[in-house]
Chains A and B, each alone.
Chain A
């Protein structure tokens, strides 16, 4: 399964184009900072099922890293990866950005037309299982949705996990 970060805007037409490009850029920086090159193989734990993926991106000049803060690179990189995976693997699309006080990052629509809240988190180094639990506790508070999910992406391996809040 190929996750092409530079096709985010095609995958999610309601994502502002400049934002999609920004996510893809910072995703590329996050992956390169982790020592990875385009075409790196990853495994995503999709609610307990391991899914093999290959991540594609257009290589970026690493000197650009100094102009973006580390947290933005990690968080936005995780957003790029998660949104690409959810589009390719599950056919979900972005519907609306949520605000911080709404306890989630995105309202998405799944392939059945149900509304799903998504919270994304990034880790610069190795995967931390505790982070996924924290994010599930947070996204559980998003009201009005049919389902709530959290996605955590670690750029050390790289490795990612997606889980549904009960």
Chain B
């Protein structure tokens, strides 16, 4: 007898739009609460938010306020989850959709750019606080750039 999957991997009909909106509201509150107390779980929580906002986006037109704001929410929360690559992919995918306005495309790009900058500045502040000597010598922004380059190339050396 075939085993029944308890949680369907991909099933847009599994959860209706109204339920998704409730789940999204709940997830946002949780992610922001975890971020406020400096929890290490905040990034994972923001990834949940991004996934849920994307589900809302897939069920709504980009020309509606709900659809457009859900798309912006999916992109922004992906950045806050530390999943910049996912955020970039979402911007490309949403911008290519039929019905995506110029305003939506501009707003998605602006959100991505703004939040990447905010996140980079936050990281630099954290490095300045934790490693004051290294920051004074090399510059906190340069250390952040180096760390991002290492993560990006997925190898310790060489660094571009």
Contacts and interface: CB of A to CB of B under 8 A. Distances in A.
B66 A99 contact: no
B136 interface: no
Given A100-B32, A101-B111, A101-B114, A143 B68 contact: yes
Contacts of B115: 101
B77 A99 contact: yes
Contacts of B80: 101
Interface in A95-118: 95-102, 107, 115
B55 to A, nearest CB: 13
Interface of A: 13-16, 18-19, 94-102, 107, 115, 143-146
A19 B26 contact: yes
Given A99-B28, A107-B69, 5 more contacts: A19-B26, A99-B32, A102-B76, A107-B66, A143-B69
Nearest to A104: B69
Nearest to A144: B68
Q: How large is the interface on B (under 10, 10 to 19, 20 to 34, 35 or more residues)?
A: 20 to 34
Interface of B: 18, 21-22, 24-26, 28-29, 32, 49, 56, 64-66, 68-70, 72-73, 76-77, 80, 103-104, 107, 111, 114-115, 118
Nearest to A146: B65
A143 B25 contact: no
B111 to A, nearest CB: 7
A43 B128 CA distance: 49
A160 to B, nearest CB: 23
Contact of B65 (A13, A94, A100, A145): A145
B26 to A, nearest CB: 5
Contact of A14 (B18, B29, B76, B111): B18
B65 A97 contact: no
A16 B69 contact: no
Contact of A98 (B26, B64, B73, B107): B73
A143 B107 contact: yes
A97 B22 CA distance: 9
Contacts of A101: 76, 80, 111, 114-115, 118
Contacts of A145: 65
Given A19-B29, A101-B111, A143-B107, A96 B72 contact: no
A121 to B, nearest CB: 16
Contacts of B118: 101
B29 A99 contact: no
A18 B29 CA distance: 12
A96 B68 contact: no
Nearest to B73: A99
Nearest to A69: B36
Pairs A-B, 8 closest by C-beta atoms: A115-B65, A97-B25, A144-B68, A16-B26, A144-B65, A101-B76, A97-B28, A143-B107
Contacts of A98: 28, 69, 73
Contacts of A107: 65-66, 69
Nearest to B46: A99
